A and B are shown apart, each in its own frame.
Chain A
Amino acid sequence: MDVVVTGLGVLAPFGRGAERTFEALVAGRSAVGRITRFDASEQRSRIAAEVRELEAGADLSAADLRTYDRFQLFALLAALDAVRDAGLGDGPLGDRAAVVLGAGIGGLETIERNHEALREKGPRRVSPYFIPSAIPNLAASLVAMRVGALGACISPASACASGAHAIGEALWALRAGRADLVLAGGTEAAVTPLGVAGFGAMRALSERNDDPARASRPFDRGRDGFVIGEGAGVLVLETAAHAAARGARVRARLAGYGATADAHHITQPDPEAAGMARAMARALEDARVSPADVGYVNAHATSTPLGDRLEAKAIRDLFGDRPPPVSSTKSALGHLLGAAGAVEAAIAVLALERGLLPPTLNQEDPDPQIELDVVPNEARPAGLRYALSNAFGFGGTNATLLFAGS
């Protein structure tokens, strides 16, 4: 059973709108800057790709802004945009509609704020909204409430692969006939003192603090860690029959999904990169597509020394000597953690639609260990039928999505 993408919603550091994000990417802009949301002066990494626009308006009330965590608000906006993009109207979506929307962490800012209240003022000063605003699945639930989706409502938590797993699991649910339509994606808002300190403690973040726009440089020899970002991405997925019956515009087909585990280490990827390669291979097998038909890979590549090299190895192991063009849009967007896989899935759909590959920025000193065409620095027109999008998470969890042009 074919599953199609009929709506895209992205709230990213470039602002609201999937097209807006894509256009900024192909223009070669960077969303990375100094951290403004808190005093980061003592952090190892003092740079981030922050969402700057989050105001009360038609879709969010002042009460929403005061009550819910940013990761939940991001998800609401992305989901509403996706629903509108799909032409679904304002009515309830009903019991054949599901929400599968993941987060890697959840309401970290909420946790920090309430812990501060606990320590400074005691347990009776913890907010009654602390738990609902902190737990990861409340993003999915708020979306379900807003759009009247009465089917399954769940939140995969697989770190930086959460958004991609959500989309892949939605594909399986649609094929199994468990729903006709799924709002699927991921959301994250971990640009907080504790979040940045935690990733910093692992030495996972770039410390190129004086040059934010050039800090995220996946595949480049000067890469020194990822730049943390925040945002949300949501796709409207439907069975092809359901989309056709309501006359929906099909933006792409979600053709395949591969999910694997390294079963190797809590944070380090398997040095053989076998789990990554198997995720990509499974996605292709799932769709009965051969590697030669893939015209673009949106890489997970976060700009860490080891991770990028291993993903490049996995791509070479699967595709051989002539791999397709590969770019990492994290070079411009930063790493949106649990939202990354979903936002990058939307980017892959737009790349297919427009026949245009977004570049990998900051390619100045190619790493000889990375034998890939990384679409350096400038967008490139390309006719393509299939695009892969990779997302890998701590815990050694890997997800690959395969999209086909409509």
Chain B
Amino acid sequence: MSGKQKAGSGNGGGNGVGGRVVGVVARVMNAEAETLAPELRFVEDLRADSLRVMELVLELQEEFGIDIPDSALDQIRSVGDAIEYVRGKLTAG
């Protein structure tokens, strides 16, 4: 991992949407938030199994009060994808 693009700083700040998404990912994936660069993929890089990815989606729905349809799962494969998806949902909503 490069470490040059830290999730908290590179994606809009620790307390903003990006930081909150990273917080959820860190909790669900049992990872340190500061290591979660946006390009990291859940399955390939963070070694999540399918249940863990489903749990992540569930927790993101809880955290942000949004619905994430199963059809969106293909778009949410990395930390950056999750941040982008949630931002889009919140903007659209």
Are A125 and B51 interface neighbours, CB within 8 A? no
Are B58 and A128 interface neighbours, CB within 8 A? yes
What is the predominant secondary structure among interface residues of chain B facing chain A?
helix
Once the chains are docked, how many angstroms separate the CA of A125 from the CA of B54?
A: 10
Are B30 and A125 interface neighbours, CB within 8 A? no
Are B30 and A127 interface neighbours, CB within 8 A? no
Given contacts A61-B30, A62-B30, A63-B30, contact A125 B62 (CB under 8 A): yes
Residue of B with least CB distance to A126: B58
How many A residues have CB within 8 A of the partner chain? 10
What is the predominant secondary structure among interface residues of chain A facing chain B?
helix
Taking a contact as CB atoms closer than 8 A, the residue among A61, A62, A124, A129 that contacts B55 in the complex is A129
> Is B61 in the interface zone, CB < 8 Å from A?
yes
Are B51 and A128 interface neighbours, CB within 8 A? yes
> Is A132 in the interface zone, CB < 8 Å from B?
yes
- Which residues between 45 and 87 of chain B lie within 8 Å of chain A, taking CB atoms? 51, 54-55, 58, 61-62, 67
Given contacts A125-B61, A125-B62, contact A132 B51 (CB under 8 A): yes
For A127, what are the chain B residues with a Cβ–Cβ distance below 8 Å? 55, 58
Instruction: Please give the distance in Å from B34's CB to the nearest CB on chain A.
Output: 16
Taking a contact as CB atoms closer than 8 A, the residue among A61, A62, A125 that contacts B58 in the complex is A125
Most buried by A among B27, B30, B55, B67: B30
Once the chains are docked, how many angstroms separate the CA of A127 from the CA of B53?
A: 11
Once the chains are docked, how many angstroms separate the CA of A63 from the CA of B29?
A: 8
For B61, what are the chain A residues with a Cβ–Cβ distance below 8 Å? 124-125
Instruction: Please give the distance in Å from B48's CB to the nearest CB on chain A.
Output: 10
For A125, what are the chain B residues with a Cβ–Cβ distance below 8 Å? 58, 61-62
Instruction: Please give the distance in Å from A75's CB to the nearest CB on chain B.
Output: 20
For B58, what are the chain A residues with a Cβ–Cβ distance below 8 Å? 125, 127-128
- Which residues between 7 and 59 of chain B lie within 8 Å of chain A, taking CB atoms? 27, 30, 51, 54-55, 58
Are A128 and B30 interface neighbours, CB within 8 A? no
For B51, what are the chain A residues with a Cβ–Cβ distance below 8 Å? 128-129, 132
For B30, what are the chain A residues with a Cβ–Cβ distance below 8 Å? 61-63, 66
- Which residues between 79 and 138 of chain A lie within 8 Å of chain B, taking CB atoms? 124-125, 127-129, 132
For A129, what are the chain B residues with a Cβ–Cβ distance below 8 Å? 51, 55
Once the chains are docked, how many angstroms separate the CA of A62 from the CA of B67?
A: 27
Residue of B with least CB distance to A61: B30
Once the chains are docked, how many angstroms separate the CA of A111 from the CA of B16?
A: 34
Instruction: Please give the distance in Å from A387's CB to the nearest CB on chain B.
Output: 43
Once the chains are docked, how many angstroms separate the CA of A222 from the CA of B36?
A: 60
For B55, what are the chain A residues with a Cβ–Cβ distance below 8 Å? 127-129
Instruction: Please give the distance in Å from A50's CB to the nearest CB on chain B.
Output: 26
Instruction: Please give the distance in Å from B56's CB to the nearest CB on chain A.
Output: 10
Instruction: Please give the distance in Å from A36's CB to the nearest CB on chain B.
Output: 25
Residue of A with least CB distance to B56: A128
| With A62-B30, A128-B51 already in contact, 7 other A-B pairs whose C-beta atoms are closer than 8 Å | A61-B30, A66-B30, A124-B67, A125-B58, A125-B62, A127-B58, A129-B51
- A residues near B, CB below 8 A? 61-63, 66, 124-125, 127-129, 132
Interchain residue pairs with CB less than 8 A apart (19) = A61-B30, A62-B30, A63-B30, A66-B27, A66-B30, A124-B61, A124-B67, A125-B58, A125-B61, A125-B62, A127-B55, A127-B58, A128-B51, A128-B54, A128-B55, A128-B58, A129-B51, A129-B55, A132-B51
The 10 closest A-B pairs by CB, nearest first: A63-B30, A128-B54, A128-B51, A128-B55, A62-B30, A129-B51, A61-B30, A129-B55, A127-B58, A127-B55
